[in-house]
Amino acid sequence: MTSKKSTDGEEATPSKKKSKKPSSKEQIAELENQVAEQKDKFLRLYAEFENYKKRTLKERLELINSAGQSTLKKILPVLDDFDRAKQSAEDENTSEEFSEGVLIVYNKLHSTLKAQGITVMETNGKDFDPELHAAISEIPAASEDMKGKIIDTVEKGYYLNDKIIRHAKVVVGK
């Protein structure tokens, strides 16, 4: 066997290489792994962004639907007074009148609030539900089937787009 001497005095064998280069198959496999990792990162980021868009859209819609909630809540006592005045004017034992113009304003106020999503909570004769109603008093029920039911409504409850904005104050039969 003959060996060649390099200029610095070391013997070099033809089978030894100074730097090992990966084969093209190994390079392809490594690049495919990198592509798969990048694709996975991209898909996760895309899904996260889509969830973000959905969440912000939902929050925006909720904000729009309840934007006037505080203002509408402040109008409810005025609406209650208006209802009491109408009820008093309709009573046969009073001399008060509810003029046609005031009735038009009353109806317009109700229709405007309804268009904004305000609906009245139906209470009389219904079962008492502490999630919806605030019991301010209990009275003996006239019959057995009225126990646990709402006898009278002192203050109406209201919904804004199916969300309670004011609980009804009620009298419950016991």
pLDDT digit string, tens, across residues 66-81: 777 888 888 999 999 9
User: What span, in angstroms and rounded, lies between the C-alpha atoms of 27 and 33?
Assistant: 10
* 0.75 exceeded by pTM: no
Strands 118-120 and 133-139, sheet pairing: unpaired
How is the chain split into domains, by residue range? Answer: 25-65, 69-173
pLDDT value, residue 9: 52
DSSP 154: E
Among 3.10.310.30, 1.20.120.640, 3.30.1330.90, 2.30.22.10, name the CATH number for the domain at 69-173.
2.30.22.10
User: What span, in angstroms and rounded, lies between the C-alpha atoms of 72 and 154?
Assistant: 20
pLDDT in tens, 74-101: 899 999 998 888 888 888 887 778 788 8
pLDDT in tens, 113-132: 999 889 999 988 888 888 88
